[in-house]
Amino acid sequence: QKEVEQDPGPLSVPEGAIVSLNCTYSNSAFQYFMWYRQYSRKGPELLMYTYSSGNKEDGRFTAQVDKSSKYISLFIRDSQPSDSATYLCAMSEDYKLSFGAGTTVTVRA
Amino acid sequence: GAVVSQHPSRVICKSGTSVKIECRSLDFQATTMFWYRQFPKQSLMLMATSNEGSKATYEQGVEKDKFLINHASLTLSTLTVTSAHPEDSSFYICSSRPGATEAFFGQGTRLTVV
Using a CB-CB distance cutoff of 8 angstroms, which residues of chain A are in contact with residue B49?
95-96
pLDDT tens, residue by residue, A76-96: 999 999 999 999 999 988 878
Per the rule left: phi > 0, alpha: psi between -120 and 50, beta: everything else, B13 is: beta
Please answer yes or no on whether A42 and B97 come within 8 Å at the CB atom. no
Is there a contact between A99 and B34 if contact means CB atoms under 8 Å apart? no
pLDDT band (50, 70, 90) for residue B100: low
Q: DSSP E strands: which ranges in chain B?
A: 4-7, 10-13, 19-25, 32-38, 44-51, 57-58, 67-73, 76-81, 90-96, 104-105, 109-113
Q: Say which residues have a Cβ less than 8 Å from residue B52's Cβ, sequence separation at least 6.
A: B30, B31, B32, B71, B72, B73, B74
- Which alpha helices (DSSP H) does B20-96 contain, by range? none
pLDDT tens for each residue of B10-44: 999 999 999 999 999 888 888 889 999 998 878 89
- Give me the count of residues in chain B: 114
